[in-house]
Amino acid sequence: MAAGIALLGLAAFGVPVLADALAPLVPAAVEDRLGAATEKQIGYLLGNPPACSAPEGQAALDRLVSRLRGDLPPDLRVSVRRSTTANALTLPGARVIVLSDLIAQAQSPDEFAGVLAHEFGHVAARDPSRALIRSSGIAYLLGYLVGDLAGSAVIVALGENALSASYSREAERAADAYSVAALTRAGGDGAALAILLERIAADTGEDLAFMRSHPFTRERAAAIRALAATAPQPLEGHRPLLDAPSWEALKAICAAPASR
């Protein structure tokens, strides 16, 4: 009852302002339910793209996730969906959805790992829950209080927030820093995300979906390179985070018949 009164008080005095303080208080079980609901809504909004799980590709993805995850929650889930859109989405409950064209656009495992680690940065900061609280406000809190996370207002907010990924500049900088640190710790190229962002922008004259939903491309790329230049470097130099056969397998993760 005390928690309920406190949450209603927060709602009354402005949830958007207090979202940063409130997000860490959301129980893991509630975030997991939010993540499951979000994943269903995302599937609907994207036309139910099939899941990709070719065994060798899945094994390569699992190895990459293991190298990058650090101290993220043990229930971290990363899935790939077949799509002609290049993007990655972070959902509440430590879930990340990769749309397969993002893998196709990457020219090295480190470039893809840079994006993946960036999303892991949002997981670590619980940014999806924070964004949801900011946008849905009282509707979210009331749903939390009565245990009803299937209300229409909350479900709409879930999908829209995951697709737009409209995080603040500070959140994006923190996720980029997490990416640099994760790649460097794993022995990869900490500047790999910057390489991908710069190349795609130069080649196409426009941004990937990932770059549109995570803006400030040139500013971010410069900051990523600066962080990578000052990060501790492995004595043996950088090595690709996946060997050539594993990278080829990951790129072919959607080649086998996909499941829905």
Which contiguous run of DSSP H or E holds residue 97? strand 95-100
Alpha helices in the chain (DSSP H): 2-12, 15-22, 28-45, 55-68, 101-105, 109-125, 127-136, 138-146, 152-164, 169-185, 192-204, 209-213, 217-230, 244-251
DSSP summary character for residue 24: G
CA pair distance 248, 209, nearest whole angstrom: 23
Q: Within 10 Å of residue 164's Cβ, how many Cβ atoms?
A: 13
The whole-angstrom separation of Cα 60 and Cα 253 is: 9
- Return the pLDDT at 237: 66
CA dist 247 and 139 (Å) reads: 43
Tens-of-pLDDT digits for all 260 residues of the chain? 555 555 555 555 555 556 676 677 777 887 888 888 888 888 888 889 999 999 999 999 999 999 999 999 899 999 999 999 888 999 989 999 999 999 999 999 999 999 999 999 999 999 888 877 776 655 555 555 555 554 555 666 666 666 766 788 888 899 999 999 999 999 999 999 999 888 877 765 555 556 555 556 778 889 999 999 998 776 566 788 999 999 999 999 998 654 55
Q: Please give the Cα distance from 82 to 98 (Å, whole number).
A: 9
Q: How many CB atoms lie within 10 A of CB 152?
A: 8
State if pTM tops 0.85: no
DSSP letters, 183-219, are HHHTTS-TTHHHHHHHHHHHHHSS--HHHHHS--HHH
Q: Which of 35, 103, 113, 111 lies closest to 75, judged by CA?
A: 35
Residue 73 main-chain phi, psi, to 5 deg: -55, 145
Question: Do 46 and 233 touch, CB atoms closer than 8 A?
Answer: no
144 near 136, Cβ under 8 Å?
Answer: no
Which residue, chain included where needed, has tokens 């077949």? 82
CA distance 202 to 131: 30
Closest C-alpha among 241, 23, 14 to residue 117 = 241
